Amino acid sequence: MRLQAYEVVYQTMEKGEHSDSVFHRIVEQNDFLTRDKRFLKRLSYGTIERSVELDAILNQFAKIQVLKMTAPVRTVLRMALYEIRYMEKVPEAVSCHEAVELLKKKEGQKHTAFVNGVLRTILRNGDSISLKPWESLSLPRDLYDHLCEQYGKKTTKKIGMAFLENTKDITLHIDTSKWTKKMFCEELRKAGVAVKKAYYMDDTVIISGVEDIKKIPGYEEGVFFVQDESSMLPVLCAGIRPGDKVVDVCSAPGGKAMHALLCLKGEGSLSARDKTVSKVKKIEENFGRLKFQNVSCKVWDATKSDEAFFSQADVVLCDVPCSGIGIIGRKPEIKYHALQHAKELVPIQRKIVENAEKMVKPGGVLIYSTCTVNQAENEENVRYFVEHLGLKLESLNSFLPPILCNRMTAEGMLTMIPGLQRSDGFFVARLRKTDRYSEHEFRGNGSTCHFSWRKSIPWKTIVPVGARKTGR
């Protein structure tokens, strides 16, 4: 197992692969027992997650700094130290011995004495270990400082602890037109699946201890799909109704699109798009399993305009590529390059929204969302959209559970912060296209206003007539 764990850690930390991709590839290539798979997952993911802390300790006791070690030595030491500190059932002597044997397989006898010496020194002097705040949270210094600047030290500590304590439970979104929530929960319990109530959303449950989602009751029948509660916010805040025309511009793997289709109830239409054939294929597979109608899938680069779709959509969902800081608890390797990725992605995020805005009908809604808590990608981008694209922020309060409503949601934005909310980090904003109109029905939040004129005029000069109550 340690050899396979080494490959996950090495390929992720040294070669920049995604940990999930490497892990699943290794699992598919081997016939592991369940307990072996669990050991592999804990050791590999735990080492990746705690590498900042582990490196800080190694640097206190090793004569060679971690970054100057060879990659195999660095990887083996991190894994062994993680075992010693966090895997209580593994004897310390075993961890040291297995580290030396693992290094022999990778580099022969070279450096084995060094590795053994470092680990034995740490065992003798464990009481003298001291860690700085960012090291104890296993956050890179630049990311820690960045979060402190935006949220303060107290909240940053809560964020960092939430990342480390993430249970990686799975949230399921139920299609209650097929099975009721009660029926679904009963079937899960019969199958021995641990089920608990979700924190914020209806028609959802949280499960744990599941190795293969495809073996859960209701999978083949298309009763559910995997979707974290925070990822439900964009569609919830869009206020999608039967008959709407919806576009999801960065759709893969299709969770928000499937949520939107539940809201449409077989009326209206949805266009789900993403950049590559493989991503669109994944969306199509999910749509097929859930037997959704009135949906089309398209390979499309969201940074490009689609003139055929200009002013067509009632709702456009823009869940843009982002730094992913909000989901570090699930994908720990994100934190090692998050800020650099954020700088690179902001121009792309703005380009996507600039093109998506063109698809929205006058009076329609654009939902902007990310899975990060970085303000440059969130609030600062929204201010840019309002200033440069003529979009108007609208309150989220009529769409959200009361527990999530606050001053920001009244303005039209919501940030879910790990450690403060029981969810992954997430951001959503609701924006209305208000720059120009022709004859149409404007469906407002709580009212519908009828306008009729031939020449476009500025929004601020419009006086609504004949308002009536609606659901949006």
Please answer whether residues 139 and 160 qualify as being in contact, where contact means their C-beta atoms are separated by less than 8 angstroms: yes
Question: What average pLDDT does this structure show over 229-237?
Answer: 97
Residue 42: its H or E element:
helix 34-49
CA distances from residue 276 to 203, 273, 378 in whole angstroms, order as listed: 31, 9, 25
Which structure tokens are listed for 22? Answer: 């490497």
Q: Report the distance separating Cα 86 and Cα 69, nearest Å.
A: 23
CB atoms within 10 A of CB 159: 25
Closest CA to 412 of 427, 426, 390, 434: 427
Q: Residue 167: its pLDDT value, please?
A: 85
Q: Report the distance separating Cα 110 and Cα 139, nearest Å.
A: 31
- Whole-number mean pLDDT of the chain? 91
Q: Report the distance separating Cα 371 and Cα 375, nearest Å.
A: 11
Whether residue 303 is predicted with pLDDT greater than 50 in this model: the reply is yes
How many Cα atoms occupy the beta-carbon half-sphere of 268 within 13 Å? 20
Question: What average pLDDT does this structure show over 57-85?
Answer: 97
Whether residue 63 is predicted with pLDDT greater than 70 in this model: the reply is yes
Domain ranges of the chain: 2-131, 170-226, 229-435, 437-472
CB atoms within 10 A of CB 157: 20
Which structure tokens are listed for 367? Answer: 């939902």
Report DSSP state, residue 300: -
Question: What average pLDDT does this structure show over 127-136?
Answer: 96
Q: Report the distance separating Cα 399 and Cα 15, nearest Å.
A: 43
Return the SS3 of 250.
coil
CATH classification number, 229-435, choose in 3.40.630.30, 3.20.110.10, 3.40.50.150, 3.40.50.300: 3.40.50.150
Whether residue 108 is predicted with pLDDT greater than 80 in this model: the reply is yes
Query: How far separated are the first and last CA of the chain, in Å rounded?
Result: 54
Question: What average pLDDT does this structure show over 262-278?
Answer: 96
Whether residue 442 is predicted with pLDDT greater than 50 in this model: the reply is no
Which structure tokens are listed for 408? Answer: 């920001």
Tell me the per-residue pLDDT of 374-430, one tens digit each, with 9 for 90 and over.
Answer: 999 999 999 999 999 999 999 999 999 999 999 999 999 999 999 999 999 999 999
Q: Residue 465: its pLDDT value, please?
A: 32
Whether residue 461 is predicted with pLDDT greater than 90 in this model: the reply is no
Whether residue 86 is predicted with pLDDT greater than 80 in this model: the reply is yes
Question: What average pLDDT does this structure show over 214-223?
Answer: 95
Q: pLDDT higher for 88 or 458?
A: 88
Domains 2-131 and 229-435 in one fold: no
CB atoms within 10 A of CB 420: 15
Please answer whether residues 81 and 119 qualify as being in contact, where contact means their C-beta atoms are separated by less than 8 angstroms: yes
Q: Residue 435: its pLDDT value, please?
A: 57
Q: pLDDT higher for 175 or 30?
A: 175
CA distances from residue 345 to 16, 59, 173, 431, 449 in whole angstroms, order as listed: 18, 33, 29, 21, 38
Please answer whether residues 349 and 274 qualify as being in contact, where contact means their C-beta atoms are separated by less than 8 angstroms: no
Which structure tokens are listed for 352? Answer: 């996507």
Q: Report the distance separating Cα 381 and Cα 366, nearest Å.
A: 14
Tell me the per-residue pLDDT of 239-256, one tens digit each, with 9 for 90 and over.
Answer: 999 999 999 999 999 999
In this structure, whether the domain defined by 170-226 belongs to CATH 3.30.70.1170 is answered with: yes
Question: What average pLDDT does this structure show over 19-39?
Answer: 91
Percent of the chain exceeding pLDDT 70 equals: 92
Whether residue 466 is predicted with pLDDT greater than 70 in this model: the reply is no
Tell me the per-residue pLDDT of 135-187, one tens digit each, with 9 for 90 and over.
Answer: 999 999 999 999 999 999 999 999 999 999 988 899 999 999 999 999 999 99
Percent of the chain exceeding pLDDT 90 equals: 87
Domain 2-131 is classified in which CATH homologous superfamily? NusB-like (1.10.940.10)
Please answer whether residues 106 and 6 qualify as being in contact, where contact means their C-beta atoms are separated by less than 8 angstroms: yes
Q: Report the distance separating Cα 253 and Cα 285, nearest Å.
A: 9
Whether residue 452 is predicted with pLDDT greater than 70 in this model: the reply is no
Question: What average pLDDT does this structure show over 269-295?
Answer: 95
Q: Report the distance separating Cα 431 and Cα 434, nearest Å.
A: 9
**φ and ψ at residue 461, rounded to 5 degrees:** -95, -5
- Could you tell me the pLDDT band of residue 209, with boundaries at 50, 70 and 90? confident
- DSSP string for 252-283: TT-HHHHHHHHHHTTSSEEEEEESSHHHHHHH
Residue 192: its H or E element:
none
Tell me the per-residue pLDDT of 308-364, one tens digit each, with 9 for 90 and over.
Answer: 999 999 999 999 999 999 999 999 999 999 999 999 999 999 999 999 999 999 999
